[in-house]
């Protein structure tokens, strides 16, 4: 039988393997790539995930930019608001994939037993986690490219001449919001509540943070939302487009706040994360 | 060599006992059942063997590995398969994609197409998992348990929540899948499941193993007390019978005895002499359920509202009286 033959040969060359141990590193990276491929497949096949994440950012940018894009706002130095909406929704794209989607996906997988099952397979945990994070980043990147292209081609938005600050904001934001997403997922005990609870909190905070219109600096909303990372993600992304003379594209303060939230999320995630269903 | 060796295994959660001084051995190719009520410690025990949970004390060897050793855990997991209580399958991938994906985690997996055939899902190969019925998802789940070509398969309550015919199908499938020397450790709270699948059973109650043996011998059910039942003949008062009886629902009578041959002889002699037929006469040993209820400390008036098992509908009063045996 093929079974016995396969097993015998496999027993022969069995040796300890841990992720990242020298010669096996390439095999493990291939495993991450393979797992990422299946994550992508599952994401793009899920209409709710694809529509609410990617579709949402594109549709709202187009709606807002088409209806009010060319009006000017004093809150952003009298620029056309479309110049604000493109970075704003770019920030949203990253946050929705890395925070909202990641948290909801993790809760559903945990509560349906998928996480436990994968944990009990030989797939190294690091490979599984890496694939989940990379998946969120690929989805973010797809949105960033789409949104920048729509902004540039559809509305003549000025893209940053130096992409450095934008890339740094997006990467720091992606990592921090992913850590926050994992942290938040540990507080929701069942899959039915996952989508509604996390989405409501997320969208309320986005509303407060000026995703829909630029907040005047020093306004009540701006002061409230300054406590949360969403606001800083939007303003840091906006700054990185370098549209206002005399204002640095490096929004270090915003980046700092985002990173602190991310670190907090990581601490919570490491302390509270569990593989098995909470109700189990 | 034993596939699984457990000695003096203990695990507490704060002041709650998970498992307490549990010992057992499972031979290669054996199907071993941990049978016990909810909360008895079955899942704790199996999760320690899987390397999912840590232990407080005791020695554990699974396929020669200590599952608490992080350094060799991946090697162990390459050789074991797991089916959990939950139907844990990605909804948006197709049946074949899920099997192929998981096969890739193992060094020498089975061919996904062969697994499809064995679990009877060939026609569903291209269907998204979410379109499968519950029974089909469970079949896929079992397929995922064996796709890595495991030497040891863990089945954690594989049929909980199934209707009777789905359970029978699942048993058939488990038997079919484990042909050819796969060692199986299964947890269940169904007596008939343990009886149908297991070579050996350990009954676990409040974290302790209270009996171990083959389903036929467990708890001395092949020796000792037998139960004789028949219907009260018309026009006969129970007092007229040659042996004392207990009522057993409607006009049924029941005798529990360690000396069934003697009792039967007296009954049949009386029946012939009096010309009164003993309608519905049966003799049976304790069912596994009787043994199980006794071992796990069942008392009448608590727990499940009997009636779903062969002996659940009657005689609970005697059960309490016999529990000290």
Q: In chain A, which residues have their Cβ closer than 8 Å to the Cβ of B180?
A: 1, 3
The tens digit of pLDDT for each residue in A173-184 reads: 999 999 999 999
The tens digit of pLDDT for each residue in A97-144 reads: 999 999 999 999 999 899 999 999 999 999 999 999 999 999 999 999
Cβ within 8 Å, pair B74-A17: yes
Cβ within 8 Å, pair A114-B90: yes
Return the pLDDT at B298: 61
| Distance between CA atoms of residues B292 and A274, nearest Å | 34
Cβ within 8 Å, pair B72-A3: no
Cβ within 8 Å, pair A42-B77: no
Q: Find the CB nearest B104 among A14, A34, A277.
A: A34
- pTM for the full predicted model: 0.80
Q: What is the DSSP string of A97-122?
A: IIIIIHHHHHHHHHHTTHHHHHHTSS
Cβ within 8 Å, pair A45-B128: yes
Q: Identify the residue with better confidence: A65 or B310.
A: A65
pLDDT (mean) for A158-185: 95
Query: DSSP state, A22?
Result: G
Measuring CA to CA, how many Å separate A217 from each of A96, A222, A226? 24, 6, 10
Q: In chain A, which residues have their Cβ closer than 8 Å to the Cβ of B90?
A: 38, 42, 114
CA B299 to chain A, closest CA, distance in angstroms equals: 26
Residue partners of B108: CB distance under 8 A and separation at least 6: A6, A7, A9, A10, B149
Q: Find the CB nearest B84 among A9, A41, A116.
A: A116
Q: Find the CB nearest A120 among B50, B149, B180.
A: B50
Measuring CA to CA, how many Å separate B99 from each of A100, B102, B293? 28, 5, 40
Evaluate whether A152 touches A85 at the Cβ level (below 8 Å). no
The helix or strand, by DSSP H or E, that contains position B298, with its residue range, turns out to be none
3-state per-residue secondary structure call for A3-27: HHHHHHHHHHCCCCCCCCCHHHHHH
> Residue A278 — pLDDT band, cuts 50, 70, 90?
confident
Numbered residues of chain A with Cβ closer than 8 Å to any chain B Cβ: 1-3, 6-7, 9-10, 14, 16-18, 31, 34-35, 38, 41-43, 45-46, 112-114, 116-117, 119-124, 275-277
CB pairs under 8 A between A and B: 95
Q: Find the CB nearest B108 among A9, A113, A120.
A: A9
How many other CB atoms are found less than 10 A from the CB of residue A155?
A: 18
- Which chain B residue is nearest to residue A45, measuring alpha carbons? B92
Q: Which ranges in B185-315 belong to alpha helices (H)?
A: 191-197, 260-274, 288-295
Q: In chain B, which residues have their Cβ closer than 8 Å to the Cβ of A9?
A: 108
| Distance between CA atoms of residues B97 and B22, nearest Å | 40
Q: Find the CB nearest B75 among A3, A16, A120.
A: A16
Return the pLDDT at B126: 96
Average pLDDT, chain A: 88
ipTM of the complex, rounded to two decimals: 0.84
For chain A, the farthest-separated pair of C-alpha atoms sits apart, in whole angstroms, at 76
In this predicted structure, the answer to whether residue A35 has a pLDDT above a threshold of 90 is yes
Q: What is the pLDDT along chain B (325 residues), one digit of tens a residue?
A: 799 999 999 999 988 889 999 999 999 999 999 998 888 899 999 999 999 999 999 999 999 999 999 999 999 999 999 998 777 788 899 999 999 999 999 999 999 999 999 889 999 999 999 999 888 888 899 899 999 999 999 999 888 777 788 788 888 888 887 777 899 999 998 888 888 899 999 999 889 998 898 887 776 666 667 888 888 888 888 888 888 888 877 788 888 888 888 888 888 888 888 888 888 888 887 677 777 777 777 654 444 433 333 333 333 333 333 333 3
Query: DSSP state, B224?
Result: S
User: Which structure tokens are listed for B274?
Assistant: 């009096």
Please list the residues that pair with B158 across neighbouring strands: none
The helix or strand, by DSSP H or E, that contains position A21, with its residue range, turns out to be none
The alpha carbon dihedral of B176, B180, B185, B190 has a sign of: positive
């Amino acid at each position: 039988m093929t079974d016995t033959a396969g097993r015998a040969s496999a027993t022969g060359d069995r040796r300890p393997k841990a992720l990242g141990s020298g010669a096996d590193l390439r095999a493990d990276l291939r495993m991450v790539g393979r797992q990422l491929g299946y994550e992508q497949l599952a994401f793009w096949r899920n209409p709710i995930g694809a529509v609410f994440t990617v579709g949402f950012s594109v549709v709202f940018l187009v709606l807002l930019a088409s209806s009010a894009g060319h009006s000017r706002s004093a809150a952003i130095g009298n620029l056309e608001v479309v110049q604000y909406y493109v970075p704003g929704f770019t920030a949203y794209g990253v946050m929705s994939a890395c925070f909202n989607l990641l948290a909801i996906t993790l809760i559903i997988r945990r509560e349906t037993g998928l996480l436990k099952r994968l944990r009990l397979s030989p797939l190294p945990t690091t490979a599984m986690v890496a694939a989940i994070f990379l998946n969120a980043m690929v989805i973010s990147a797809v949105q960033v490219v789409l949104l920048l292209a729509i902004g540039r081609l559809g509305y003549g938005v000025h893209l940053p001449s130096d992409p450095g600050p934008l890339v740094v904001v997006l990467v720091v934001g992606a990592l921090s919001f992913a850590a926050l997403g994992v942290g938040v997922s540990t507080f929701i005990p069942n899959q039915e509540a996952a989508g509604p609870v996390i989405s409501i909190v997320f969208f309320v905070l986005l509303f407060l943070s000026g995703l829909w219109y630029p907040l005047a600096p020093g306004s009540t909303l701006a002061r409230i939302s300054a406590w949360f990372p969403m606001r800083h993600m939007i303003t840091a992304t906006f700054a990185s487009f370098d549209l206002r003379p005399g204002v640095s594209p490096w929004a270090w303060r915003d980046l700092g706040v985002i990173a602190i939230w991310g670190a907090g999320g990581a601490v919570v995630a490491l302390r509270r994360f569990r593989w098995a269903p909470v109700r189990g | 060599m034993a596939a699984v060796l457990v000695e003096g295994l203990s695990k507490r959660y704060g002041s709650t006992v998970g498992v307490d001084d549990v010992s057992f051995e499972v031979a290669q190719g054996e199907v071993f059942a941990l049978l016990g009520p909810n909360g008895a410690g079955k899942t704790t025990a199996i999760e320690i063997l899987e390397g999912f949970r840590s232990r407080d004390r005791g020695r554990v060897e699974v396929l020669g590995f200590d599952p608490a050793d992080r350094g060799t855990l991946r090697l162990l997991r390459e050789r074991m398969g797991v089916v959990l209580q939950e139907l844990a399958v990605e909804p948006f991938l197709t049946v074949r994609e899920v099997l192929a994906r998981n096969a890739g985690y193992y060094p020498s997996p089975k061919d996904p197409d062969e697994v499809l055939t064995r679990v009877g899902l060939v026609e569903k190969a291209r269907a998204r998992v979410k379109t499968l019925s519950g029974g089909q998802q469970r079949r896929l789940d079992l397929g995922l348990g064996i796709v890595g070509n495991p030497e040891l398969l863990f089945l954690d309550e594989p049929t909980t929540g199934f209707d009777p015919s789905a359970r029978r199908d699942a048993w058939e499938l488990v038997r079919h899948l484990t042909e050819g020397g796969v060692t199986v450790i299964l947890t269940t709270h169904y007596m008939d499941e343990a009886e149908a699948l297991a070579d050996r059973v350990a009954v676990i109650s409040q974290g302790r193993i209270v009996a171990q043996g083959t389903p036929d011998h467990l708890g001395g059910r092949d020796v000792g007390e037998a139960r004789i039942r028949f219907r009260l003949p018309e026009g006969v008062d129970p007092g007229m019978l040659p042996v004392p009886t207990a009522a057993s629902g409607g006009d049924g009578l029941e005798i529990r005895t360690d000396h069934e041959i003697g009792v039967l002889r007296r009954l049949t002699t009386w029946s012939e002499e009096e010309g009164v037929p003993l309608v519905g006469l049966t003799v049976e040993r304790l069912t596994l359920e009787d043994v199980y209820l006794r071992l796990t400390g069942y008392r009448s008036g608590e727990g499940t509202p009997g009636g779903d098992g062969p002996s659940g509908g009657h005689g609970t009063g005697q059960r309490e009286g016999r529990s000290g045996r």
